[in-house]
């Protein structure tokens, strides 16, 4: 398994501390423990900070209480950690803040000691650490004094003298949180670097790999130099080889390189590779460092493209991205601003609460926040200000976070102050009034929110007439929404300028919400433009997920841009922030937490370049299986089509014609010319969005009939032991012509050949028989079919065709007859995905630990599901809608007309259940009352279910009916959902039907 992108990395051990009363680790070198750095601040990140005691009202994260990468001091590398504090209390334990970063907690160990370098800058502080053990219990260490001036090594032994209840601590363990204390009031900064744990780490963490940051883009046409820092946590020197497999994110040939490395004991070394001849695109590097029995892996992304470099769009819809600006230190925010500028973003969404803007009545200068706004202004980036989560405490009789004010007169005064403050910053163009108030982010009622908005609006608009007021960004459709909250607010357009909503997930989810808001507004008889202030999609931590995220980004923003009433779109978010929430999947960013550009960053850069300064055109159809949106460039009149296959279609092929030439570009910017002006051109759109752009003004693509093209063949065919590719040939020339079709696999092996001669004007249909290995696993296989003509014309075209090796769903009379069907078996290590990376946790031990045997059959009306799961321990205590968190089976279907259904089967706390978690028709979501049983015998849990075919959008016919599906087995052995087994992707790691396997109703 490739190590996830969020791992931290060990480094060399520093000299042992002087001046502390804790015992030193003085052993012979060969007996010395490992030294693993868990935070060196080189990733320019910020830790989440929480006030506990003694912080004054004007203190807030990250303005003046934080731990963030900084260049304010120097120890090792380019960055150190700066602890900003602001304390007002006096006396022991009067002042405390906590610091945490989940990224720090990715390395577990048998911890002997904690070390770090520090310069207290003359302040009198102390630090303690929360250690979380393998049973998820928290142990607080003794405090380490942080005093004096100059860089010194601090050392804390972890034992019964420094950790209360140490005898109960079960290793391995992680450091989860740092506590900062001061017995005296004060404001200032202290600095730390190279926080490390001393002890025993796993072999997988003795060598770590981290990419050196050199910008997000490599210049096209120039050599690409990639540099990686390798660290050795062991007290012994290590030598070995670093292997690198480089490939385009969308697939293709792999370049394999091997580089030797030598690492000093508890030290580090850089390894560089140079790549030539790379075209524009997004690339992945799968790496493995091996030294004897020590091995570690890392997945990297890099990109070759030209950044837009500055804002290029001059007209709505504005193209934006949100950043966690007020959760970041200065160095991180300034780096992110440079990324947004490179991207060409029009605006960013920045959140801040009312009690931070005006913590004390009449004091609303907020200098730290003002500086952030100025950095965006200098980069030419506008701001949507998110006012959220807390009103000033002085507007409430009893301060309560997330609750409305009680003194509305004071709140109106505050609204005017907010307007005055923001109006002084010319790049603030919008204010969004609260984040998702329809959920738990707002503790009041619908009536409370309307009163707040009605009170806030007039004084705010009076003070800031140039700033548009938005509703709170609402989820529109959410199981936890306050009843009819979203609709009620939207249908009070007199209270706001723009209607704001959120939509994570697919373009279908987005379109449903957008059109619903439009409907609600139309019912009022008044118009308002719409904005999407938070709309993204997760990538997960693998290549398919990253590619899917990029595709979803293009689809969602294209759809939003196609709506005449959309004011702006803010992608959520700029960078992953896995470091914020324990065990969360916060992979929504365009950039990894290691500052590497995902495919989505490159795709957004290209989308801005293509769709900036365009206007949407009427809906078009280039092919019924293709989702297509058309735009006209306002500067040159060129027509731009954005296309992708509809759900259920892996690829779409069509002939296109125009007066002049067209340019076809993939979503990363790689172009090829289409000679559409010289005759019909064949266009294949496979999986991912493409752009089709004219080279002349107002030159639209026109329909081309099959008879006017010299050949036609399908994008995909279903394969058994043999496959048949239907071909159509038309002789468009005045003399007899010979037509030949040859099918080859990607290795170049010929698999089939067909030939025919046609007289002038003749036409025929024939089948190209293709031999396929009978042992091929269910899935897909890419073929290349070469069409060649001789005689009347000499032409040669190479066309891709996908062979779908479909699982045959055989007809039976009852579910008990399923034994006659072929079996899907999951019992190999390659089928397993570990979700909770812990090198000391027991991994999958073989088929007796977890395995699946599955059969699908049907009769004329019903699909019979049979799953036998071998599991060493069955754990399921969840309600039906949460079964996926523990032992259960998930199966998802996608029909050829795009109908998507995802089902969970399990023994819930309410008995055996079928729960529909995803459905194209929202009315189908929820519990399904169809026959289902879950029985356990020994180690085997048998799941049986009967689902009407019509419920899934399937109908059995005289011919095989193709569809796509995928399976997941969720596993909880009492330690949480730690692993899954899956038959094809698209369910558990990220929702993407393009990753499903193939099936066929026989």
Residue 698: predicted pLDDT: 96
Residue 721: predicted pLDDT: 63
Query: For residues 489 and 432, what is the distance between their CA atoms, to the nearest angstrom?
Result: 13
Question: Torsion over CA of 911, 917, 919 and 922, rounded to 10 degrees?
Answer: 90
Strand-pairing partners, residue 889, are 905, 969
Q: Which 8-state DSSP code applies to residue 151?
A: -
Could you write out the three-class secondary structure of 550-595?
HHHHHHHHHHHHHCCCEEEEEECCCECCHHHCCCCCCCCCCECCCC
Residue 19: predicted pLDDT: 29
E-strand ranges in 22-100 read 34-39, 46-53, 66-70, 80-87, 95-100
- The owner of tokens 């699946």 is 852
* Greatest Cα pair distance in the chain: 101
Query: For residues 537 and 556, what is the distance between their CA atoms, to the nearest angstrom?
Result: 10
Residue 583: predicted pLDDT: 67
Query: For residues 265 and 231, what is the distance between their CA atoms, to the nearest angstrom?
Result: 9
Which residues have a Cβ under 8 Å from the Cβ of 842 and sit 6 or more positions away?
none
pLDDT along the chain (1002 residues), means of 10: 29 26 36 92 95 94 95 92 97 94 90 98 97 94 97 97 97 96 97 97 92 96 97 96 97 94 96 96 98 95 98 97 94 97 98 93 91 96 96 96 97 98 97 97 97 98 98 92 96 98 91 96 97 93 92 97 97 86 83 97 98 94 93 98 88 92 97 91 92 97 86 86 87 93 91 94 93 69 92 87 88 73 89 70 82 93 94 92 95 92 95 93 92 94 95 87 93 86 88 86 88
Q: Which of 391, 448, 537 is nearest to 990 (CA)?
A: 537
Q: Which 8-state DSSP code applies to residue 527?
A: -
Query: For residues 755 and 727, what is the distance between their CA atoms, to the nearest angstrom?
Result: 10
Alpha helices in 572-724 (DSSP H): 599-611
Cβ(458)–Cβ(493) below 8 Å: no
Cβ(47)–Cβ(66) below 8 Å: yes
Residue 973: predicted pLDDT: 83
Q: What does the block give as tokens for 604? A: 């957004």
Query: For residues 128 and 149, what is the distance between their CA atoms, to the nearest angstrom?
Result: 20
Query: For residues 560 and 947, what is the distance between their CA atoms, to the nearest angstrom?
Result: 36
Q: Which 8-state DSSP code applies to residue 340?
A: H
Long-range pairs of 487-493 with CB within 8 A, sequence gap ≥ 24: 487/520, 488/446, 488/450, 489/437, 489/438, 489/446, 489/449, 489/450, 489/453, 490/517, 490/520, 490/521, 491/520, 491/521, 491/523, 491/524, 492/450, 492/453, 493/521, 493/524, 493/526, 493/527, 493/528
Give 976's Cβ-side CA count (13 Å radius): 11
pTM score of the predicted model: 0.90
State yes or no: cis peptide before 172, omega within 30 of 0: yes
Q: CA angle, 304 as apex, 303 and 309 as ends, to 5°? A: 95
Q: What does the block give as tokens for 419? A: 């307007």
Which residues have a Cβ under 8 Å from the Cβ of 780 and sit 6 or more positions away?
650, 716, 802, 803, 804, 805, 998
Long-range pairs of 481-486 with CB within 8 A, sequence gap ≥ 24: 481/438, 481/439, 482/438, 482/439, 482/445, 482/446, 484/446, 485/437, 485/438, 485/446, 485/449, 486/438, 486/520
Residue 17: predicted pLDDT: 27
Cβ(778)–Cβ(966) below 8 Å: no
Query: For residues 517 and 530, what is the distance between their CA atoms, to the nearest angstrom?
Result: 8
Q: Which of 375, 542, 527, 488 is nearest to 6 (CA)?
A: 542
Residue 20: predicted pLDDT: 31
Cβ(516)–Cβ(546) below 8 Å: no
Q: Which of 625, 619, 616, 694 is nearest to 660 (CA)?
A: 694
Query: For residues 1001 and 349, what is the distance between their CA atoms, to the nearest angstrom?
Result: 48
Residue 816: predicted pLDDT: 63
Q: What does the block give as tokens for 339? A: 């990324």
Cβ(72)–Cβ(233) below 8 Å: no
Query: For residues 691 and 802, what is the distance between their CA atoms, to the nearest angstrom?
Result: 22
Q: Which 8-state DSSP code applies to residue 861?
A: S
Which residues have a Cβ under 8 Å from the Cβ of 858 and sit 6 or more positions away?
809, 810, 811, 812, 864, 949, 956, 1001
Q: CA angle, 652 as apex, 648 and 654 as ends, to 5°? A: 150
């Amino acid at each position: 398994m490739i190590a996830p992108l969020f791992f931290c990395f060990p480094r060399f051990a520093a000299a042992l501390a002087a001046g502390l009363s804790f015992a030193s680790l003085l052993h012979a070198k060969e007996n010395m423990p490992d030294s693993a750095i868990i935070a060196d601040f080189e990733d320019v990140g910020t830790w989440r900070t929480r006030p506990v005691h003694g912080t004054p009202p004007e203190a807030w994260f990250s303005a003046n209480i934080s731990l963030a990468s900084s260049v304010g001091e120097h120890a090792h590398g380019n960055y150190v950690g700066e602890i900003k504090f602001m304390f007002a209390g006096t006396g022991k334990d009067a002042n405390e803040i906590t610091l945490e970063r989940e990224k720090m907690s990715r390395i577990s160990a048998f911890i002997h000691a904690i070390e770090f370098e520090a310069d207290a800058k003359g302040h009198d502080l102390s630090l303690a650490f929360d250690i979380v053990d393998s049973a998820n219990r928290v142990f607080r260490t003794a405090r380490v004094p942080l005093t004096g001036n100059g860089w010194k090594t601090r050392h804390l032994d972890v034992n019964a003298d420094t950790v209360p209840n140490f005898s109960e601590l079960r290793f391995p363990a992680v450091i989860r949180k740092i506590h900062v204390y001061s017995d005296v009031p004060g404001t200032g900064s202290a600095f730390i670097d190279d926080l490390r744990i001393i002890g025993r780490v796993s072999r997988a963490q003795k060598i770590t790999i981290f990419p050196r940051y050199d910008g997000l883009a490599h210049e096209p046409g120039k050599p690409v130099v990639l540099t990686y820092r390798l660290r050795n946590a062991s007290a012994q020197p290590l030598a070995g080889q670093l292997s690198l497999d480089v490939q385009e994110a969308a697939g293709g040939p792999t370049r394999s390189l091997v580089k030797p490395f030598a690492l000093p004991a508890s030290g580090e070394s850089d390894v560089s590779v140079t790549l030539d001849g790379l075209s524009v695109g997004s690339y992945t590097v799968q790496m493995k460092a091996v030294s004897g029995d020590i091995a570690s892996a890392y997945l990297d992304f890099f990109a070759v493209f030209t950044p837009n470099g500055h804002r290029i769009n001059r007209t709505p819809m504005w193209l934006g991205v949100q950043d966690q600006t007020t959760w970041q230190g200065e160095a991180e925010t300034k780096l992110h601003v440079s990324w947004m500028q490179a991207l060409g973003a029009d605006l960013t969404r920045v959140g801040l609460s009312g009690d931070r803007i005006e913590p004390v009545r009449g004091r609303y200068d907020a200098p730290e926040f003002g500086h952030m706004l100025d950095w965006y202004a200098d980069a030419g980036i506008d701001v949507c200000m998110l006012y959220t989560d807390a009103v000033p405490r002085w507007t409430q009789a009893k301060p309560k976070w997330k609750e409305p004010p009680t003194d509305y007169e004071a709140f109106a005064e505050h609204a005017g102050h907010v307007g005055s403050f923001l109006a002084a910053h010319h790049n603030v163009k919008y204010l969004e009034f609260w984040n998702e108030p329809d959920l738990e982010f707002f503790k009041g009622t619908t009536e409370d929110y309307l009163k707040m908005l009605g009170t806030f609006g007039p004084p705010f608009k009076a003070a800031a007439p140039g700033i548009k007021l938005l509703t709170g960004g609402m989820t529109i459709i959410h199981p936890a929404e306050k009843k009819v909250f979203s609709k009620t607010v939207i249908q009070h357009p007199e209270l706001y300028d723009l209607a704001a909503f959120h939509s994570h997930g697919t373009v279908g989810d987005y379109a449903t919400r957008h059109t619903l808001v439009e409907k609600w507004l139309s019912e009022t008889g008044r118009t308002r433009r719409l904005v999407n202030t938070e709309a993204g999609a997760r990538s997960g931590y693998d290549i398919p997920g990253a590619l899917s995220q990029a595709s979803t980004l293009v689809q969602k923003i294209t759809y939003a841009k196609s709506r005449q009433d959309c004011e702006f779109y803010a992608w959520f978010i700029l960078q992953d922030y896995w470091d914020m929430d324990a065990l969360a999947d916060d992979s929504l960013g365009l950039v990894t937490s290691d500052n590497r550009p995902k495919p989505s960053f490159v795709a957004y850069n290209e989308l801005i370049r293509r769709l900036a300064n365009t206007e949407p055109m009427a809906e078009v159809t280039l092919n019924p299986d293709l989702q297509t949106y058309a735009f006209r460039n306002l500067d040159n009149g060129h027509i731009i089509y954005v296309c992708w296959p509809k759900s259920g279609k892996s690829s779409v092929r069509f002939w296109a014609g125009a007066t002049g030439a067209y340019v076809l570009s993939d979503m990363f910017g790689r172009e090829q010319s289409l000679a559409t002006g010289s005759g019909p051109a064949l266009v294949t759109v496979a999986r991912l969005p493409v752009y089709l752009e004219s080279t002349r003004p107002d030159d639209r693509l026109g329909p081309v009939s099959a008879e006017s093209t010299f050949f036609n063949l399908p994008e995909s065919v279903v394969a058994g032991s043999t496959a048949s590719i239907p071909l159509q040939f038309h002789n468009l020339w005045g003399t007899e012509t010979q037509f030949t079709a040859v099918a080859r696999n990607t290795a170049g092996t010929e698999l089939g050949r067909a030939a025919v001669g046609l007289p002038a004007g003749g036409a025929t249909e024939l089948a190209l028989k293709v031999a396929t290995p009978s042992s091929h696993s269910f899935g897909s296989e890419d073929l290349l079919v070469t069409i060649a003509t001789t005689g009347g014309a000499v032409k040669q075209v190479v066309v891709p065709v996908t062979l779908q090796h479909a699982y045959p769903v055989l007809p039976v009379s009852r579910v008990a007859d399923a034994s006659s069907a072929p079996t899907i078996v999951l019992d190999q290590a390659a089928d397993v995905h570990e979700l909770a990376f812990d090198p000391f946790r027991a991994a999958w031990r073989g088929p007796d630990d977890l395995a699946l045997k599955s059969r699908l059959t049907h009769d004329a009306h019903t699909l019979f599901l049979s799953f036998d799961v071998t599991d060493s321990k069955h754990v399921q205590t969840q309600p039906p809608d949460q079964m996926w968190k523990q032992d259960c089976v998930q199966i998802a279907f996608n029909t050829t007309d795009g109908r998507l259904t995802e089902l969970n089967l399990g023994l819930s706390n309410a008995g055996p259940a079928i729960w529909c978690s995803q459905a194209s028709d929202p009315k189908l979501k929820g519990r399904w009352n169809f026959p289902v049983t879950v029985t356990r015998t020994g180690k085997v849990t048998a799941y049986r279910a009967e689902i009407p075919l019509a419920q899934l959008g399937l109908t059995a016919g005289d011919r095989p009916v193709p569809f796509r599906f995928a399976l997941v087995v969720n596993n909880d052995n009492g330690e949480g959902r730690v692993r899954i087994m899956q038959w094809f992707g698209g369910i558990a790691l990220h929702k993407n039907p393009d990753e499903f396997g193939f099936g066929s109703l026989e």
